[in-house]
Structure 1
Amino acid sequence: MHDLERCALTVRDRTTVVEGYVAAFDGETMTVAAEHGVVPGGVRPGDDVQVLVLDEVRGEVRYVGTVSRVGASTVALVDLELVSMLQKRQGARVRTLQLCTGVATGPDGAGPGRPISFVVVDISAHGMRLSTTSTLAVHDRVAFEFPTGRGAVKLDAEVLRTQRTSTGGTQYGCRFVDIRENDVDALFRFVLRTQGAQRRMRLDA
């Protein structure tokens, strides 16, 4: 868990901060690799510490614990207790313009399914906005597969609202229902990768 994620270690009641990444964490012992080495005497076995982990999927995760071992470039922590977890993936959304096909049904999947083609205008780990020439009603369902670049995720989306665009088309705001946690993680990772690629393109333009 947290493998290779960025982190910062602060010794309580001191200004010393070790910045680096989580080299290993088995649930009991966390090994922090210091990016610029460990300052001699800056942190010692037995010290109480606070750890902030910037986890790509889980968000900002904070622990308190105790230093068990200090090396030239690593610090081992034990007795870790989760203090807080700030989840930011709810609001992370990216524009995609991904063409998809699926099956549309009535509320709760009722009624006969009909094939539908649409463009995913933007997507998050919990919902999306789509554009289609087909007619959908609020609470209709759309079942489809979304390509993440590392496999396809099977999704079931419920229409929450409709919106007319300036060009006369219709877009639909949807939320994903009955979505598995590992699929939420896969979508969030897709959003972050795509956002990063788009930022790099803007910088290179």
Structure 2
Amino acid sequence: MSENLSCPYNKSRIISADKFICDSAKCGESNPSINEIQCPYNSEHFVKPSHYSHHIIKECEQRPSQHQINKIVECNQVKNEQKEEEKKTKTKEDKNHKNSLKKQEPYVSENIVSEIPTADPTPEHEMRISRNEVKKGEGFILHKVKITSKEEEAKEEEKRKQALEEEKKKVLEEERKKDCQSQIF
């Protein structure tokens, strides 16, 4: 069972601990004339403004110790310093990267090959050309050319046939296994 607490705004009202935070917030909104301040370390603590500083400094048990506060402050300072260092290094890297690209532009433009080398068909092999139109650049159309000999085509056909035969064998073996298993049961 949950513990029951009295409402800080209306002492005659009893609230279960599970609903305390929501109900106390609603009571605080409906009773603005009652001036009680909620403790920043424990939301169940409501204190009169005159006792607020005393409560925070001495009475509140959830208040972090000075040692814990110092650790938190140090961690925040270290994080801020790391962020500042990252910003400095990023800007330096960006500047260096931009400068290196400017230096490479003339070199890259000189070494780009603008013509595409093509193979000359020879009379020894009968060529088969498969045309796939590919748009490239500004309205130019290039054709992908696949050049194969009859010997290469024959080898590919044999490989395909062997692959099909192997698949058929596998299927037949699986069917035999299933038949055997069904006969056993």
Fold-level match, TM-score > 0.5?
Answer: no
| TM-score normalised by the chain length of structure 1 | 0.20
| TM-score normalised by the chain length of structure 2 | 0.22
Q: Larger % of strand: which?
A: 1
Q: Larger % of helix: which?
A: 2
Larger Rg: 2
